[in-house]
Amino acid sequence: MQRWLSIGEFSKVTHLPVKTLRHYHEVGVVVPAAIDPASGYRRYGTDQVGSAHLVRRLRNLDMPLAEVRTVIEAPEEQARNRAILSYLARMERQLAQAQLAVASLRALLEAPTDSLVVEYRLTPTQPAVARRAVVEGAAVSEWCAATYPLLYAAIAEGGAVPAGIGGALYPSEFFEKGVGEVIAFVPTADRLAVAEDSRDASRHGLVEAIDIPGTNLAVALHCGSFDELDRTYGSLGTYVAARSLAGPGPIREYYLVTPDETDDPDELRTEVAWPIRPRSEDQTQPNTKGAMT
């Protein structure tokens, strides 16, 4: 009664194309129960159908094949289901992402280019608590959302209060390679000692006390979702480049109104700060405003 299924039969009962099944065999995701030694024909067991259905669903959700393999090789059903459910959670976040991307595209098509107001600013060197990590472009808002609570907690633990707006440093590499070391920080009045403890305590949520170096900045205010930030980068970066103002150092963002404070993306306020080389005027008049339409 126990019969094998040929690759064609298995294809029909799993809805996986034959070429795909051969590929899955090659990479070890769905391995036939037996191979006919004479003909080389693949023979699939009826008990492999359920597993193949699972593979098809996971691939429909774009789970990488390597990950699919570890899921279906998981010995206990518990671990397997946990892996799948965590991937589902990731997927659902990604779906929300895609919907934001659609909204962002709509916005780009409809919204006119805003007039740009650029402020020149000379920031002093400032102590801060900070956390750094090598982050991918797409993951940065998630990482920030996880980081700032840690920073505020570290400040509170140190018996201090924030001395300014929280921000982050993005090196050129972050944009040019799509991944780089990002430093999120919250300014403090003085160098915090407590932060050194938490540095030793845990390598994961590693919070440090550092100095954010002073520099000359060209600053523009971005109103709206982080997904739209490239537009302000475009306007400000073009403005800076057209005037040959660019200086060394990472680009900064200051988060004036954060997702913690509002649920409406339109109410978010972010300053984009482009490093510029010092100019003689800046020495005497550190806060100048220039406008462009």
Query: Rule CB under 7 A: which residues touch DNA?
Result: 6-9, 17-20, 22-24, 27, 36, 38-42, 59, 64-66, 172, 176-178
Contact between 46 and a second copy by CB under 8 A: the answer reads: yes
Task: For the CB of residue 230, give the shortest distance to DNA in the complex, in Å.
Answer: 15
| 292 scored as a contact of a second copy (CB under 8 A) | no
Tell me if 181 contacts a second copy by CB under 8 A: no
Q: Which is nearer to DNA, 20 or 126 (CB)?
A: 20
Angle value at C-alpha 79, between 144 and 63, nearest 5 degrees: 60
Residue among 192 and 236 whose Cβ is closer to DNA: 236
Q: In the Cβ-directed half-sphere of 135, how many Cα atoms lie within 13 Å?
A: 22
In 3D space, the residue among 128, 155, 148, 183 whose CA is nearest the CA of residue 260 turns out to be: 148
- Residue closer to DNA by CB (options 36, 281) is 36
- Min separation Cβ 159 and DNA, Å: 39
- By the rule CB under 8 A, 175 interacts with a second copy: yes
188 binds, among DNA, a second copy, none (CB under 5 to 8 A by kind): none
Counting Cβ atoms within 10 Å, is residue 255 exposed (0-12), middle (13-18) or buried (19+)? buried
- Minimum distance of a second copy from residue 142's CB (angstroms): 16
| Range in contact with a second copy (rule: CB under 8 A) among 17-25, 29-37, 192-200, 260-268 | 17-25
* Residue 40, C-beta contacts closer than 8 angstroms, at least 6 positions apart: none
Least distance from a second copy to the Cβ atom of residue 206, Å:
27
Question: What count of other Cβ atoms lies within 10 Å of the Cβ of residue 78?
Answer: 9
In this structure, how many other beta carbons lie within 10 angstroms of the beta carbon of residue 281? 10
Decide if residue 78 touches a second copy (CB under 8 A).
Answer: no
Secondary structure (3-state) at 228: helix
Among residues 170 and 255, whose Cβ is nearest to DNA?
170
Question: CA 111, CA 113: separation in Å to the nearest integer?
Answer: 6
- Residues 260-279 interacting with a second copy (rule: CB under 8 A): none
Tell me the Ramachandran region of residue 148: left when phi exceeds 0, alpha when psi lies from -120 to 50, beta otherwise: alpha
Among 13, 122, 221, 256, the residue binding a second copy under the rule CB under 8 A is 13
